[in-house]
Amino acid sequence: MARHSPSFYPEDDVVTIHIPATLRTYSGGRETVSVAGGSSLRQVFQRLDAECPGIIDRLTLDGDIHPAIAVFVNEEQISLGLIEPVPEDATIRLLPNVGGG
């Protein structure tokens, strides 16, 4: 899949993803990456991986979200994993998951 600049996407179908510092080597140091929207988090992650090759391997494990990553869509932590619906103009935040005991 070819890389595209966000300017190639219609403005009403762009998702902004905030990349944590630990994963910015995949994003070329960018704090945010904009990709074409998708109906599910899986589609958005696939589009993010096209823009930032290899990042999906750090975000997923065994077909689901990696347990070391917490994902927020429009400020709400997701609960459905990769099938989570992603609305147009969504903001996604990827954060290191903080474990407790």
The CATH code for residues 7-96 is 3.10.20.30
pLDDT at residue 2 greater than cutoff 50: no
- pLDDT for residue 98: 77
* Tens-digit pLDDT profile for residues 32-80: 999 999 999 999 999 999 999 999 999 999 999 999 999 999 999 999 9
Task: Report pTM.
Answer: 0.84
Residues 6 or more apart whose Cβ sits within 8 Å of residue 48: 17, 33, 35, 55, 56, 59
Q: What is the DSSP letter of 56?
A: H
